[in-house]
Chain A
């Protein structure tokens, strides 16, 4: 493996997390991650060293997702992450409260329209700057901040105003 691949390997957990935001179902999310990795390897000459590999790969993932989603409509969303029960026996797993809380956040996030959900995830989960997130989504910054604001308002109503504590 070269530098590019080593960097990509360290990004894998974050790529999988972003894929969950997009695809929700773990199997679909890992399929999406795999597709993203393959596309990134094919286009590695388009990545400019010195720029952020993560936002570059998020852009590839988002475009891959659009391609996939066009071909296959999302079907039968589940209401809770299927792995919630599987984690219970794991001593390193977070507390029950944390899991329930995380699930509430994840469900609220998943209920957002996709444009807002991705904007929220890139900035508030992945920590990208507005500029980087806008480039990942290939939209103007104003569009990004507008989606972010609407997503935030909905999440605030669903999570904060309903009494969920950070």
Chain B
């Protein structure tokens, strides 16, 4: 009986179906050559099982054990951004912002597994900004309704409505205002706090909806921190994906504010762009 090498290997590795294991086992009794080949492979396995055995007996370095025991740090990673559903250019924006897995899941209460810790903090902060400072923020605010993008309220809404870009005041600072291709006004903002965030909100007919948030500012630890002056790259990438023309200057902002931030499609572009 001729047994190919692969079958000898699979026999030694215990990878053959039971009937083939038995067949080889039986053949070895009458075929010394086959028995030798099997024994050679078993010897090789025994030799290899001792490879790098020294490291198995050592106590792993403290740094490694500590790395295992560490909680994953919610370090601000600029490439990550929460893109809330409902943004008009969301597909493009998400792609451009390279926003990956951490998106808020659609069903309420499904958050948690595998979502970086800062998202929870950011979501709480957004929820706080959304519902104001009175009641405990119901998380359902983040995902209820037809358009799940949270509505800005409280100090965030106030800042978005009234603050001029670059005017540093209060817990929320508006950084940049711009128009999308369909004439909708959007503004980036930063919010100070235990876990500073930056975000992007766009004006719906009746409210500002938060389209994206991302951690911002200095390191992940410490108490109350002011937001850094730089808008995170992930938010800027979202802006890049949505902006039409240049950011608004002070005069453009004043005009938009006076008009209640109602969409103002550019005349030369022939009216409202299709969604």
Contact = CB atoms under 8 A, between A and B. Distances in A.
Do the two chains bind? yes
Interface of A: 1, 5, 8-9, 12-14, 16-17, 20-21, 26, 29-30, 33-34, 37-38, 41-46, 81, 83, 87, 92-94, 98, 101-102, 105-106, 109, 120-121, 123-125, 129-130, 145, 148-149, 152-153, 155-156, 159-160, 164-166
A102 B56 contact: no
7 contacts: A5-B69, A42-B72, A93-B54, A101-B50, A102-B54, A121-B51, A124-B44
Given A130-B13, A152-B44, A166-B46, A5 B68 contact: yes
Interface stretch (B59-67, B157-165, B188-196): B59-67
Contacts of B54: 81, 83, 87, 93-94, 102
Contacts of B41: 152, 156
Contacts of B113: 45
B55 to A, nearest CB: 5
Contact of A12 (B40, B43, B57, B65): B65
Given A155-B44, A159-B44, A160-B40, A20 B52 contact: yes
Interface of B: 5-6, 9-10, 13, 15, 40-58, 60-61, 63-65, 67-70, 72, 113-115
Contacts of B72: 38, 41-42
Contact of B6 (A1, A21, A149): A149
Given A5-B68, A13-B56, A13-B60, A105 B51 contact: yes
A106 B52 contact: yes
Contacts of A5: 68-69
Given A81-B54, A130-B13, 15 more contacts: A12-B65, A13-B55, A16-B64, A41-B70, A45-B114, A94-B53, A101-B47, A105-B48, A123-B13, A125-B52, A159-B44, A160-B43, A160-B47, A166-B42, A166-B43
Nearest to B15: A130
A119 B98 CA distance: 34
Nearest to B112: A45
B119 to A, nearest CB: 13
A9 B65 contact: yes
